Amino acid sequence: MWSKFNRESSGPGALLGDAAAFVSRRWPLDRSTPLLPTSASSCAYSPLPSGPPGGMSIGSGPHQRGKGAEQGDAEAGYKLASRGSGGQLQFNGAGTPRPRVASSLSLSATLRKSLLLAIVLLVGYSIGAFNHRCSLSTSASGRSFVQQLTAALAGGGDGGHGSSSSGGGGGFGGFGGTDGSGSSSRAWGTAGAGGSSSGLGDFAPVNKTLRFPVCNGFANQRLSILYGMVLAKRLGRAAVLPVLVDNGLQRGDSAVLATANNQIPFEEMYDLPHFVSSMAGAGVHVLRPADAPPANTVLRLAGLSRGQQGGVSEALATTYASIRHIAIDCPLFKLGAEEMQPGFEPLVWATLNGLRPSKEAAALVDKISRAISSKAAALSRGSISSTGSGTGSGSASAAAAAAVAAAAASAADANLLTAAGAAAGGGGAIRVARSRALQAASDWAAAAYGPARPFNFIHLRIENDWIEHCRRWESIRDGIVRDNCYRHTEEVAAQLALFGFSNSTPLYVGSYWDDVEPGRREQALAKLRAAGYILVTSADVFPSSSSSSSAGGAAGASGAGGAAAAAAAPNPLEGRGREYRAMIEYFVGLRAQRFIGNSVSTFAALAMLERRRAGRWAAYYNGGNIPLASVLPLLHRLPWVFTYNSWSGQYDYLLKGAVRSALATRSFQPYCIFMGNESAAIHTWLVAHNVTVISHTPAWREQLLALAGRKAQNNVAHSHLYKTPDSLVSTFQRVDLPVVPVLDQYSYVLYTDADVFFRRPIRLDDFGLPLPRSVSMSYEMDPMFPYNAGVIVANLPVMRANYKAFIAMMLDPGASEGLYYPGYGPADQGIINKFYESDLRGRMLNQLFNAKPYSTFDASAYILHFHGPKPHEYAAYLNTGQCDFKGLCEKAFAMSLCRYTREWARWVPEEPVALRLGDACGLLDNPAFQRLRGPTS
Residue 552 covered by a domain = no
Q: What is the tens place of the pLDDT at every residue in 707-762?
A: 887 765 555 555 556 667 888 888 899 999 999 999 999 999 999 999 999 999 99
Residues facing residue 669 across a β-bridge = 639
Vertex 499 angle, CA 493 and 502, to 5°? 70
Residue 126 covered by a domain = no
211 — phi, psi (to 5°)? -110, 145
Amino acid at position 24, single letter: S
Return the closest-CA partner of residue 529 out of 569, 561, 496: 496
Give yes or no: residues 659 and 622 share one domain. no
Give yes or no: residues 466 and 532 share one domain. yes
The 10 Å Cβ neighbour count of residue 149 is 21
Give yes or no: residues 315 and 448 share one domain. no
What CATH number corresponds to the domain at position 488? 3.40.50.11350
Q: What is the tens place of the pLDDT at every residue in 787-829?
A: 999 999 999 999 999 999 999 999 998 888 878 889 998 889 9
How much of the chain exceeds pLDDT 70, in percent? 67
Residue 45 has pLDDT above 50, yes or no: no
Residue 567 has pLDDT above 90, yes or no: no
Give yes or no: residues 509 and 473 share one domain. yes
Residue 934 has pLDDT above 80, yes or no: no
Give yes or no: residues 651 and 743 share one domain. yes
C-alpha–C-alpha distance, residues 352 and 467, integer Å: 28
Number of H helices, E strands in the chain: 34, 24
Residue 374 covered by a domain = yes
Give yes or no: residues 667 and 710 share one domain. yes
Three-class secondary structure assignment of 412-481 = HCCCEEEECHHHHCECCCEEEECCHHHHHHHHHHHHHHCCCEEEEEEECCCCHHHHHHHHHHHCCCCCCC
Residue 65 covered by a domain = no
Q: What is the tens place of the pLDDT at every residue in 382-412?
A: 655 444 444 344 444 444 444 444 444 444 4
Whether 906 and 25 have beta carbons less than 8 Å apart is answered as: no
Give yes or no: residues 322 and 377 share one domain. no
3-state secondary structure of 618: strand
Give yes or no: residues 740 and 617 share one domain. no
More confident residue, 807 or 103: 807
C-alpha–C-alpha distance, residues 234 and 160, integer Å: 8
C-alpha–C-alpha distance, residues 192 and 169, integer Å: 12
Alpha helices for 200-329 (secondary structure H): 218-235, 266-269, 272-281, 311-318
C-alpha–C-alpha distance, residues 270 and 544, integer Å: 24
Query: What helix, strand, coil percent values describe the chain, rounded to 5?
Result: 45, 10, 40
Instruction: Please tell me the least confidently modeled range out of 84-88, 184-188, 257-261.
Output: 184-188
Q: What is the tens place of the pLDDT at every residue in 297-350?
A: 999 998 777 766 668 888 899 899 999 999 999 999 999 888 888 889 999 999
Give yes or no: residues 839 and 706 share one domain. yes
Instruction: Please tell me the least confidently modeled range out of 21-30, 112-121, 860-869.
Output: 21-30
What CATH number corresponds to the domain at position 352? 3.40.50
Residues 6+ apart with CB under 8 A from 478: none
Domain boundary among 802, 824, 852: 852
What CATH number corresponds to the domain at position 796? 3.90.550.10
Task: Give the sheet arrangement for strand 507-510, strand by strand.
Answer: 535-536, 507-510, 453-459, 592-597, 618-620
Residue 10 has pLDDT above 60, yes or no: no
End-to-end alpha-carbon separation of the chain, Å?
Answer: 24
C-alpha–C-alpha distance, residues 281 and 197, integer Å: 7
The 10 Å Cβ neighbour count of residue 346 is 21
The backbone region for 827, taken as left when phi is positive above 0, alpha when psi lies in -120 to 50, beta otherwise, is left
Domain boundary among 827, 852, 877: 852
Give the model's pLDDT for residue 113.
Answer: 59
Give yes or no: residues 448 and 580 share one domain. yes
Residue 641 has pLDDT above 60, yes or no: yes
C-alpha–C-alpha distance, residues 502 and 524, integer Å: 18
Report how many domains make up the chain. 4
Give yes or no: residues 764 and 715 share one domain. yes
The mean pLDDT of 210-233, rounded to a whole number, is: 97
Residue 477 covered by a domain = yes
Question: Whole-model pTM?
Answer: 0.76
Angle between helices 602-613 and 578-591 (to 10 degrees): 30
Q: Determine the length of the chain.
A: 937
Return the closest-CA partner of residue 129 out of 204, 217, 30, 200: 204
Which domain range does residue 878 map to? Answer: 868-936
Residue 731 covered by a domain = yes
Return the closest-CA partner of residue 806 out of 780, 777, 774: 774
791 — phi, psi (to 5°)? -135, 125
Instruction: Report DSSP letters for 600-618, one per residue.
Output: TSHHHHHHHHHHHHTT--E
The mean pLDDT of 289-304, rounded to a whole number, is: 89
Give the model's pLDDT for residue 338.
Answer: 85
Give the model's pLDDT for residue 801.
Answer: 96
More confident residue, 865 or 396: 865
Angle between helices 652-664 and 681-688 (to 10 degrees): 0
Q: What is the tens place of the pLDDT at every residue in 818-834?
A: 788 899 988 899 999 99
Domain boundary among 612, 630, 648: 630
Whether 233 and 173 have beta carbons less than 8 Å apart is answered as: yes
Helix (H) or strand (E) holding 159: none
Residue 421 covered by a domain = no
Give yes or no: residues 595 and 716 share one domain. no
Residue 568 covered by a domain = no
Give the model's pLDDT for residue 885.
Answer: 84
Place 898 in a pLDDT band, splitting at 50, 70 and 90.
very high
Residue 476 has pLDDT above 50, yes or no: yes
Return the closest-CA partner of residue 785 out of 731, 726, 843: 843
Give the model's pLDDT for residue 235.
Answer: 94
Give the model's pLDDT for residue 307.
Answer: 63
